[in-house]
Amino acid sequence: MSLNGMTGFGRADGVAGALVWRWEVRSVNGKGLDARLRLPGGHERLEPAAREMIRKTFARGSIQANLQLRQDASQAQPAVNEDALNALLDAAGPLIESGKVAKPRLDGLLGLPGMLLSAEESDDEEALKALDSTLLDGLKTALSELAEGRAGEGAALKTVLLDHLSSVETLAEKAARSAGAQPAAIRDRIKTALADLLEGDLPEERLATESAMLALKADVREELDRLTAHVEAARALIEKGSPCGRKLDFQIQELMREANTLCSKSADMELTRIGLDLKAVVDQMKEQTANVE
């Protein structure tokens, strides 16, 4: 599977009878999947199916889907809202008979709000089903375009992240070859520290504890081994593809932990500089990983 990003845009346009519609979908990064829909009044019935479609297409990201509708005046074939018209005539009947108001003209009545029904406002269930199917097909098209955009971003992220992992490997190898990480240098530091401890006339138990802590602090080889292991795990996740963003973020945190420990344990300027370079690379990876699905 490919690596996907979480940023993108998709759009689909179409016509259904006298109705012109447009879907616009946007996506930015997010910790989970957050879908927000903006639907015209009277079309809330589409929301469950639209949310399910988004859930099946994406695993992470903050997604905004917006449906716009307008009437195509050249194709419009409105129907008279007979119930509303009859109710109005019944209410106005006494006033007309008493002469208080003039008998209304048909064109004046039909110009009142709610007197004409558009196709999508009709009670024809088959027509509504056909309209809903068309609109949902349009959403599917827009989501496909969004998915393509996120895949393109993911391809770019994959290249960048793999380059960063290669840099981490190179720095880890450089750290392992540095003078401060060599066994002889480690032994010299331990000997010097032990000599200082012996001058303090410490009890044997305390001396043994302090000696073990000194040996642990002086040796950075364990951190370097873990760095290599985390690099391999991160590379495997990237090659496997999305959804892997959360797991990849965890591996980046572990890389940063080892880089911090390397810096804190280093007693050598060269090793410290390498540790700082490692932290810089891993920090860049953290920023990029925030966009991985």
CA 154 to chain centre: 12
Residue 110: predicted pLDDT: 65
Q: How many residues does the chain have?
A: 293
pTM (two decimals): 0.71
pLDDT score, position 230:
96
User: Given this model, what pLDDT does residue 222 score?
Assistant: 84
Q: What stretches in the chain show pLDDT beneath 50? A: 182, 207, 210-212, 214
